[in-house]
Chain A
Amino acid sequence: MSDTHDPADRTYAVLPVKNTVLFPGLFLPLSVGRPASRAAVDAAVATEDKTLVVVAQRDNDQEAPGLADLFPVGTIGVIKKMARGQEGVEVLVQGAGRVRLIETVQREPFLRANVLPLPMPAGGGEQVEALFRTVLDAARRVLELARPQADVDVNQFLAQAPNPVQLAYLIASMLGIDVIKEQALLEAESPEVALQLILEHLTHETRVLELRNQIAAKAQQEMTKEQRDYWLRQQLRAIQDELGETTPEKAEVGELRQRMQEADLPDHVRKEAERELGRLERLPAAAPDFQVTRTYLELVLELPWKKGSDGKIDLAAAKEVLDADHFDLERVKERILEHLAVLKLNPKAKAPIMCLVGPPGVGKTSLGQSIARATGRVFERLSLGGMHDESELRGHRRTYIGAMPGRLIQAVRRAGVNNPVLMLDEIDKLGRDYRGDPGAALLEILDPAQNHTFRDNYLDLPFDLSNVLFICTANALDTLSAPLLDRLEILRLSGYAETEKVEIARRYLIPRQVKETGLPDGSFHLPDETVRRLVMRYTREAGVRQLEQTIGRLARKVAVRFAQGTTEPVTIRPEDLGELLGPERFTPEEARKTMPPGVATGLAWTEAGGDVLYIEASLLPGSKGLKLTGQLGEVMRESAAIARSLMISQAPRFGIDPLTVRRTGVHIHVPAGAVPKDGPSAGVTMVTALASLFTNTPARSDTAMTGEVTLTGLVLPIGGVKEKVLAARRAGIRRVVLPKANEKDIRDVPEPVRSEMSFFFAETVDDVLAQTIPQSANRIGVVTADGVRTNGPAVPTAAQAGTTGG
């Protein structure tokens, strides 16, 4: 018989183990890797009874532990199975009895020690019995919690333990408690201590497991709620199928749900959309709300909540695009490029809102398209002309029948991205009535600080418009409210000069029209002189729209000839125009060759560019006061009154009898009579007309003038210098008198025009009269005393023209 149970007076090979303890009566599989431990196993296997002592080591990092590094109490283990593998030796050890390690017998090649056998803890009594039962109950509880679907009968299994200590060992090995506690259990001298230890641990384990199960159960619950919803929805569908309620409309609802799951929506939008969809699913297809809700959901799903086009900005390319699409407009292009540069450096920058102001046909809309092309964004246009209902811009609330989203949201939906270039065309033509002011709604839309949460009445969800690049266009800014103007960055596009128009026609309009009519290349020639005549006599406008239409007409007429068989290239000379287009529509605004006293040449700014304006004045002997005709506005009437007062107050200086002025009535007329006119810039012209009238001296017919006049005779600056100068040039007038303060604006006038004209800058009325009524200069004493100019005939000297023109 073996002496396993009687290890007295024996030395054993010692196998130190990490993290675990071998309990008597239980099995422990071990993986042995350390050379010393392998030597110990080898030695044990070579003995008759295959025994060694298994002891837990105190410190896991100790690789060659001595007796001091081990716990003092270990277990005799019988090696039941052993196999060598690549990594080390696998052994299955069964615990036999407890031993106390006494002293080291050998260190190399493995630890061998002298041991003192310890008896199994024994004893009984009521307390042990009570503890034993408590531990059993607690262990059952733990095992149930740990493995609710245990395929092993826990009770039966625990009942196998022959005595309380063995039960404690069994439970400890099952729970996997830490090595210090296991060791304490192994060292326990009585069943009471052992059971106490294990009970403590079981109680702790029970709490932990209960907590864990609670957490798991909660997670499970949340998970199952979603599954439950899904399952119920499936059932609902099945029931509806069964009832024959699945109409095409309902199928669309399913499609909507599908699309919603795929759509990339912000959280708050998804929440709202889910709610609406839920409502839709419950509604019968015949309900009026069904279509309303469906249309609404389609809008929500189609809006580009997060989708933007990749707006990479290449400044060089943008400049190329702008130059290719538009002639000149240097300053406007420069400012557009500045905007783009800012957007490139800081894509999060609040996009500035540009407003292109200028007469019709100068290319505002197409400039917007070019900006979109230059920035690689989608272009959408929204015409505000004639819009007078705020709801049209901001949408109707869904409670109304036939409600629709506002034009703005519709434009974004059409664009399909949330950062398009959005052109608000004709912003100055917004109407307003009792239903609201769309201009006020624009205030919110165009404010970068507010428009990131734009709320359309129909959509009723905040939509971020801050990435949209807004561009407005207007012909004039008079009708815009001050707060709206404040939000806009004004870029003025003035009319084109004749030379510019010829250039534009050659570069863009003629090739485009040739292409549209399908004429072969090189078959249609329109020399510059012909274009010039077209511009002067047929299409009097600031822009080039009519010019392009007229060129189109010419091209079509040529196309007819080609269709009839002509193959010769056609060149249209200026004299052919009468035959092709009919009589000239505008006689050139040529300067009146002779002007009677009382007539002066003024310059006016109109939306179509500049115009020459003759102001006629005549005496009304026997009547009093001032009579004004020609649809004059309030400001212009005041200008006339100022001019007359100036005559009365300073009559002696002009060599006029004050009594004549006071006693005789004056009539001022500004043709053409049917066109409304307003503004202060005709002041100097009225003064000149009156001075000419009262001195009975005709004003110079080759000189045009513009400028505001004050009651003391000062000349104040006016706007639209370029247009006015161009108008004078068109009329064949070569001398222009301008306010001194407008000298800087001459730079805007194109160079060819500038060099063939003479400019005179006036600070006071006297300066004006010196240039316009030279014959009277002799009689106007103050002027002669001026000392700046000579009294000679006021024909400009070369020097004067040179300095002012440059």
Chain B
Amino acid sequence: MHRDRILRSCFLCPPAEDRGWQPPLDIYELNDGWLLKADLAGIRPDEVTVSLQGRTVTLRGHRRDLSVAEGCAHYRMEIAYSSFERSVELPADPGGDARVQTDYRDGMLLVRIRRGNSHS
């Protein structure tokens, strides 16, 4: 019991106060910048906001449980609903004039960041 509690606390405890759930994401390094790929299935692209502030990229949004609205009852629930927020730091500052381009493909949100001229 004791040990379980400690372990559970370790692995499940959020690092900071509640910011909802956090989507997993990959970061690729490109010649001219980075590509972020976030696992955001079942989300309407218009309900996601991407912001870049210095080196920090933040994804915010909301995943709605549409099935409930259609009158279904849960038998099992593993998918995290409600709002999410995920911040990640890039290895280097892309510069103030960096360009951000988003694309939503097959349940993945792709964010392409190109370095600004000030750093190239």
Chain A residues near B (Cβ < 8 Å) = 1-2, 4-5, 24-27, 29, 42, 45-50, 78-84, 94, 96, 143, 146-147, 152, 157, 160, 162, 166, 170, 173-176
Q: Would A50 and B81 count as touching, CB distance under 8 A? A: yes
A162 engages B17 (CB within 8 Å):
yes
Quick check: B13 and A25 within 8 Å, CB to CB?
A: yes
CB distance B17 to A27 under 8 Å? Answer: no
In the complex, are the beta carbons of B73 and A82 less than 8 A apart?
no
What are 15 A-B interface contacts by the 8 Å CB criterion? Answer: A4-B83, A5-B18, A26-B13, A27-B9, A27-B13, A42-B73, A42-B74, A48-B64, A81-B80, A83-B77, A146-B6, A147-B6, A152-B7, A160-B15, A173-B9
B9:A25 contact, CB within 8 angstroms: no
19 extra A-B contacts, CB within 8 A, seeds A173-B5, A173-B9:
A1-B83, A2-B62, A25-B13, A25-B14, A27-B12, A42-B74, A45-B77, A46-B68, A49-B81, A50-B81, A79-B77, A81-B77, A81-B80, A82-B76, A83-B76, A147-B6, A152-B10, A160-B15, A176-B1
Q: Is B82 among interface residues, defined by CB-CB distance under 8 A?
A: yes
B: interface residue count bin: 20 to 34
Contact pick for B6, options A5, A82, A96, A143, CB 8 Å? A143
B3 touches A147 (CB 8 A): yes
Q: Are A175 and B2 in contact (CB under 8 A)?
A: yes
The answer to whether residues A170 and B77 also contact, given A2-B83, A25-B18 and a CB cut-off of 8 A, is: no
Cβ contact of A80, chosen from B3, B9, B80, cutoff 8 A: B80
Query: Could you tell me the distance in whole angstroms from the C-beta of B62 to the nearest C-beta in chain A?
Result: 6
Q: Which residue in B68, B73, B74, B82 is a CB contact (below 8 Å) of A2?
A: B82
A48 and B83 CA atoms in complex are apart in Å by: 10
Pick the 8 closest A-B CB pairs, nearest first. A82-B77, A27-B12, A45-B74, A83-B76, A2-B82, A2-B83, A49-B82, A174-B6
Q: Which residues of B contact A45 (CB under 8 A)?
A: 68, 73-74, 77
- Does the CB pair B82–A4 fall under 8 Å? yes
Complex: A790 Cα to B20 Cα, angstroms: 143
Assess A176 versus B21: contact at CB under 8 Å? Given A47-B68, A50-B81: no
The answer to whether A46 and B82 have CB atoms under 8 Å apart is no
- The CA of A162 and the CA of B20, in the complex, are separated in Å by 16
Find the A residue at minimum CB distance from B3. Answer: A147
For B28, list chain A residues within 8 Å (CB): none
- CB-based contact A46/B83 at 8 Å: no
**Complex Cα spacing A48 to B63, Å:** 9
Within 8 A of A (CB), among B1-35: 1-3, 5-10, 12-18, 20-21
Contacts of A94 in B (CB 8 A): 14, 18
Contact of B13 among A78, A160, A175 (CB under 8 A): A160
Closest residue to A94 on the B side, CB-wise?
A: B18
Q: Is B103 an interface residue (CB 8 A)?
A: no
Complex contacts, B82 vs chain A, CB 8 Å: 2, 4, 48-50, 78
A residues less than 8 Å from B74 (CB atoms): 42, 45-46, 82
Kindly list chain B residues whose C-beta atoms are within 8 Å of the C-beta of A166: 17
CA of A147 to CA of B3 in the docked complex: distance in angstroms?
A: 8
Pairwise interchain contact A27-B62, C-beta atoms closer than 8 A: no
Q: Which residues of B contact A81 (CB under 8 A)?
A: 77-78, 80
B65 lies within 8 A of chain A by Cβ: yes
Q: How far is the CB of B58 from chain A (nearest CB, A)?
A: 14
Question: Within the assembled complex, what's the spacing in Å between the Cα atoms of A166 and B16?
Answer: 9
Chain A, Cβ-Cβ closest to B74? A45
Given A2-B62, A4-B18, A96-B18, A26 contacting B6 (CB threshold 8 A):
no
Q: Is the CB of B13 within 8 A of A80?
A: no
Q: How far is the CA of A598 from the CA of B79 in the complex (A)?
A: 140
A27 neighbours in B (Cβ, 8 Å): 8-9, 12-13
Indicate which residue in B5, B18, B20, B83 contacts A174 across the interface (CB closer than 8 Å).
Answer: B5
With A4-B82, A84-B76 as contacts: A176 and B68 at CB distance below 8 Å: no
Chain A residues closer than 8 Å to B9, beta-carbon distance: 26-27, 170, 173-174
State the CA gap A46–B81 with chains docked (Å). 11
Q: From B75, which residue of chain A is reached at the shortest CB distance?
A: A84
Chain A residues with Cβ below 8 Å from B83 are 1-2, 4
User: Are B20 and A48 interface neighbours, CB within 8 A?
Assistant: no
Inter-chain contacts of B1 with A (CB < 8 A)? 176
Please name all residues of chain A whose beta carbon is closer than 8 Å to the beta carbon of B15 when the two chains form the complex: 160, 162
A375 and B10 CA atoms in complex are apart in Å by 75
Nearest CB of chain B from residue A92's CB, rounded to whole Å:
8
How far apart are the CA atoms of A96 and B18 in the complex, in Å? Answer: 7
Bound-state Cα–Cα, A27 to B10, Å: 10
Does A1 contact B17, Cβ atoms closer than 8 Å?
A: no
Distance of A173 Cα from B1 Cα, bound (Å): 11
Q: Which B residues are in CB contact (< 8 Å) with A83?
A: 76-78
Of all chain A residues, the one with the shortest Cβ separation from B10 is A152
**Measured between alpha carbons, how far is A162 from B17 in the docked complex, in Å?**
8
Contact B16 A162 (CB under 8 A): yes
List of A residues within 8 angstroms of B3 by Cβ: 147
Residues of chain B lying within 8 A (CB to CB) of residue A46: 68, 73-74
B23 to chain A, nearest CB (A): 14
* Cα A79 to Cα B6 with chains together (Å): 21
Determine the chain B residues whose CB is within 8 A of the CB of A79 once the complex forms: 77
Q: Give the CA-CA distance A145 to B105 in the complex, in Å.
A: 51
Which single member of A42, A48, A49, A157 contacts B10 (CB below 8 Å)? A157
**Residue of B5, B12, B77 most packed against chain A (CB within 10 A):** B77
Nearest chain B residue, comparing its CB with the CB of A46: B68
* B68 (CB) vs chain A CBs: closest residue: A46
Question: Which residues of B are found within 8 Å of A1, using beta-carbon distances?
Answer: 62, 83
Query: Do residues A176 and B76 form an inter-chain contact, with CB atoms below 8 A?
Result: no
How distant is the Cα of A424 from the Cα of B21 in the complex, in angstroms? Answer: 96
A48 touches B68 (CB 8 A): yes
| Nearest CB in chain B: distance from A168 CB, A | 13
Give the distance to chain A from B80, nearest Cβ to Cβ, in Å: 6
Distance between A110 CB and nearest chain B CB, rounded to angstroms: 14
**Nearest CB on A from B39, distance (A):** 16
Q: In this complex, what residue of A is CB-closest to B61?
A: A1
Q: Which residue of A lies closest to B64 (CB)?
A: A48
Residues of A within 8 A of B18 (CB): 4-5, 24-25, 78, 94, 96
Task: For B67, give the chain A residue with the smallest CB separation.
Answer: A46
Which residues of chain B have C-beta atoms less than 8 A from A96's C-beta? 18
Write out the residue numbers on chain A whose beta carbons fall within 8 Å of the beta carbon of B75. 84
Residues of B within 8 A of A5 (CB): 18
Query: How far apart are B48's CB and chain A's nearest CB, in angstroms?
Result: 12
Closest beta carbon of chain A to B41's beta carbon, Å: 16
> For residue A162, which residues in chain B have a CB less than 8 angstroms away from its CB?
15-17
Could you tell me if B77 and A25 are in contact, using CB atoms closer than 8 angstroms? no
Residues A25 and B80 in contact, CB atoms below 8 Å apart: no
* Residue of A26, A29, A174 ringed by the most chain B CB atoms within 10 A: A174
CB closest chain-A residue, reference B83: A2
B87 to chain A minimum Cβ distance, whole angstroms, is 15
1/0 contact string of B38-76 vs chain A (CB within 8 Å) = 000000000000000000000000101100100001111
A501 smallest CB distance to B (angstroms): 91
Contacts of B73 in A (CB 8 A): 42, 45-46
Question: A80 contacts B5, CB within 8 Å?
Answer: no
**Contact flags (1/0) for B84-106 with A, using CB distance below 8 Å?**
00000000000000000000000
Which residue of B is nearest A91, CB measured?
B77
Chain B residue with Cβ nearest A45: B74
Chain A residues near B20 (CB-CB < 8 A): 2, 4
With known contacts A48-B64, A96-B18, A170–B13 Cβ distance under 8 A: yes
- CA A26 to CA B18, docked complex, whole Å: 9
Cβ contacts under 8 Å, B7 to chain A:
152
A624 smallest CB distance to B (angstroms): 119
B49 to chain A, nearest CB (A): 10
Complex-state Cα separation, A160 to B12, whole angstroms? 12
Tell me the minimal C-beta distance from B61 to chain A in angstroms: 9
The complex places the Cα of A157 from the Cα of B81 at a distance, in Å, of: 27
Q: Please report the C-alpha to C-alpha distance between residue A174 and residue B7 in the assembled complex, in whole angstroms.
A: 8
Q: Is the beta-carbon distance between A176 and B10 smaller than 8 angstroms?
A: no
A150 → chain B closest CB, angstroms? 8
